[in-house]
Amino acid sequence: MRRKLVVGNWKMHGSHKANAELLAGITGARPFGCDVAVCVPFPYLSETAVTLASTDLRWGAQDCSAHEQGAYTGEVSVPMLAEFGCRYVIVGHSERRAYHGESDQLVADKAKAALARGVTPIVCVGETLAEREAGQTEAVVKRQLSAVIHTLAHCASEMVVAYEPVWAIGTGKVATPEQAQAVHAVLRAQLRAATPQADQMTLLYGGSVKPDNAATLFAQADIDGGLIGGAALKASDFVAICRAAE
Ligand code: PGA
């Protein structure tokens, strides 16, 4: 059986004080019967690493450059993330795709750069409301994942995939467990065609996961945990979601 993973995506939230309280609330609730990670803003990686170093909790970043180093003002490379002990980096979040124009191929290149340095990319895919209503959900997520599968080639099995319907992110409109499972099954089938390890891979659901809907989502056959935004900012909610994954 696949072990569940719950990842908090703090987005552009936090402060020294708020982070310390949040991390204290999470570490104080250990042990967890699932893997737990937080993906924090770059400036807080150092303090997060110090706070979590002696725990089995993991941490990561929310984006990375596809380049190793160079004249890329404002960007952060994977080797830098690796120096701060990042286990994960989120790539291709819909907010990056929408607000920063990230293409499927750029997302794939970022995932490749992460794996090259031993950092696990959490590759986000998902359709907009217009795409869902036009019946394009399957085609969109398959196109997004296909770019990554081709670029990672034999390493594809090492990524984590997160299905995040754009219409469910931060909106309170969660996909029904059946809707989410249907897309996860499509993604798993696509991965099976690409790698013999597809059944061991971790597929997360993200989009308005809350303590009261997490358990039914995580009970679906192909949903192996969650990528949590808003509810990851409140320790009691995040811990409750982790409990739902145990
Ligand atoms: P949400 O965000 O839980 O606030 O909907 C999820 C995400 O964007 O990763």
Q: What is the pLDDT of residues 18-50, one digit of tens each?
A: 999 999 999 999 999 999 999 999 999 999 999
Indicate yes or no: pTM above 0.95: yes
Residue nearest to atom 1 of ligand 1 (CA): 229
Q: Is any ligand 1 atom within 6 A of the Cβ of residue 111?
A: no
Q: How many CA atoms lie within 13 A of 119 on its CB side?
A: 33
Q: Is any ligand 1 atom within 6 A of the Cβ of residue 213?
A: no
CATH no. for residue 220?
3.20.20.70
- Is the pLDDT at 108 greater than 90? The verdict is yes
* Number of folded domains that form the chain: 1
- Is the pLDDT at 1 greater than 90? The verdict is no
Q: Is any ligand 1 atom within 6 A of the Cβ of residue 209?
A: yes
Compute the distance between CA of residue 240 and CA of residue 212 in angstroms, rounded to an integer.
Answer: 9
What is the per-residue pLDDT across 228-245, written as a single tens digit (0 to 9) for each? 999 999 999 999 999 999
Catalytic pick among 93, 102, 127, 184: 93
What is the per-residue pLDDT across 87-103, written as a single tens digit (0 to 9) for each? 999 999 999 999 999 99
Q: Which domain holds residue 188?
A: 5-244
Active site residue 154: no
